[in-house]
Amino acid sequence: MVTTSESSLRLVIDGGKSKTHAAIIDEDGVELARSTGPGLAIIETPGGLGEVTDSLRETIAGLGAQRSFHTACIGLNGVLRAGPKPTALALEALQEVCESRRYIVTSDVVTSYLGALGISPGVVIAAGTGSVILALGEDGLPHPVDGSGPLCGDRGSGYDIGRRGLDSALRVADGMQGSDLILAQVEKSFGGVSGALSAMYTSQNPAKVIASFSRGVAAAAALGDETAVAIWDNAARDLAEGAVAAARAAGLLDTPFTVATAGGLFGAGAVLWDSLARELSERAPMATLRQGEGDALLGATRLALSEEPILTEVSTWADLGSTGHRGGERG
């Protein structure tokens, strides 16, 4: 194994709620190894540091024996708007699982943005299990919207859609008004209401379980179920409203700007895309909606290859040099 001072390799990590993706790249950005592991808990929750550390260790193990890097960069959920403590905990977890001359900790929406648009001005809507939106203005300053987690945020996310769908199904099961077609999807996905409840309340990652049912809501929408279609329309409306709010804060609304998408939720296709395009055109006529250029792992790669710290308002850079002791932190 090469030593820290000799290594020119970068470790880049996209830590989502449902899955963690990691890769080793060289100084030219060429990918040498890639692995996928379990999603990351919110690091500030009780036991969160240990869970995140274990998940990272499992994911990195899939990359081979290399544990020494020039730069280790992670984008993860739960650090954008929660203050300095979760960032410090994430840095601690990263230092526990690898040795590096430089560590970079940021939000997964920052890496999603960099993967989708680079450092160009615009808006990125990142939606998967959770949701968060980020705009960069012409001045390069970031303006986030949402990213508040499933308890009080994640509007328009897979979790939000899945929860609304499950609520409708449970209403029917209780003899109230709801969607029979969505209830049928619960039976198909979980074996019935009791199976759904068991899956949610026994899971270490209940948000992931609930978000997974967004596929069931999409299936019901494809069959023409009005409740399911309305749930997806509501999600598109929330995402569009958030994108416009971010664009307004960044001073983009009066000139043509790009809104790019990132995250697994957009794999649902037309049921989300068509509604989102319609909502955006009504709220921000100057916006152009398109798919992002690349994913969050590409964004982490771009961050890790940067010679100088960028986006320091929403990222922390810790330079340890060749000593292995923490040097100056920026961010």
* 167 and 226 assigned to the same domain: yes
Q: Mean pLDDT over residues 201-221, rounded?
A: 95
- Is 262 found in the same domain as 191? yes
CA distance 150 to 251: 28
Q: Which residue has the tokens 């997806």?
A: 232
pLDDT confidence band for 321 (50 / 70 / 90):
low
Name the β-bridge partners of 71. 10, 102
**Are 108 and 164 in the same domain?**
no
Question: Does residue 31 register a pLDDT over 70?
Answer: yes
Residues 51 and 132 in one domain: no
Say if 248 falls within a structural domain: yes
Mean pLDDT of 229-257: 97
Looking at the fold, whether 161 and 209 belong to one and the same domain comes out as: yes
The first and second tokens of residue 75, run together, are 């984008």
Q: Grade residue 194 by pLDDT with cuts at 50, 70 and 90.
A: very high
Query: pTM to 2 decimals?
Result: 0.88
Lowest mean pLDDT among 20-24, 126-130, 235-239, 322-326: 322-326
pLDDT over 60 at 5, yes or no: no
Listed in order, strand segments (DSSP E) in 64-121 are 68-76, 99-107
Q: How many domains does the chain have?
A: 2
Please give the pLDDT value at position 223.
Answer: 97
What's the pLDDT score for residue 4? 41
What string of DSSP letters covers 9-20?
-EEEEEE-SSEE
Burial 24-50 (b: 16+ CB within 10 A, else e): bbeeeeeeeeebebbbbbbbbeeebbe
| Judgement on whether residues 42 and 190 belong to the same structural domain of the protein | no
Kindly state whether residues 280 and 147 are assigned to the same domain. yes
pLDDT at 322 exceeding the cut of 60: no
Continuous segment of H or E residues that includes residue 21? strand 19-25
Q: Is the pLDDT of residue 317 over 70?
A: yes
pLDDT at 289 over 70: yes
Q: What's the first-to-final CA gap in the chain, in angstroms?
A: 31
Q: What are the pLDDT digits (tens) for 47-82? A: 999 999 999 999 999 999 888 999 999 999 878 766
* Helices and strands, counts by H and E, the chain: 11, 12
* CATH code of the domain in which 39 resides: 3.30.420.40
pLDDT in tens, 150-162: 888 899 999 999 9
Domain assignment present for 243: yes
Domain contains 106: yes
Q: Is residue 126 part of a domain?
A: yes
Tell whether 167 and 274 lie within a shared domain.
yes
Which residues form the domain of 45? 10-112+295-330
Residue 154, in any domain of the structure: yes
Q: What is the pLDDT of residues 66-122, one digit of tens each?
A: 889 999 999 998 787 667 898 999 999 999 999 999 999 999 999 999 999 999 999
Assess if residue 2 is contained within a domain: no
Beta-bridged to residue 102, according to DSSP, are: 71, 319
pLDDT at residue 3 above 50?
no
| 156 and 222 share one domain | yes
* Residues 103 and 125 occupy one common structural domain: no
Task: State residue 65's pLDDT score.
Answer: 83
Residue 77 lies inside a defined structural domain of this protein:
yes
Q: Residue 66: which residues within 8 A CB-CB, separation 6 or more?
A: 1, 2, 9, 24, 33
pLDDT exceeding 70 applies to what percent of the chain? 94
pLDDT at 6 over 70: no
Residues 36 and 176 in one domain: no
Two tokens at 304? 């890790």
323 and 175 in a common domain: no
pLDDT category at 326 given cuts 50, 70, 90 is: very low
22 occurs within a structural domain: yes
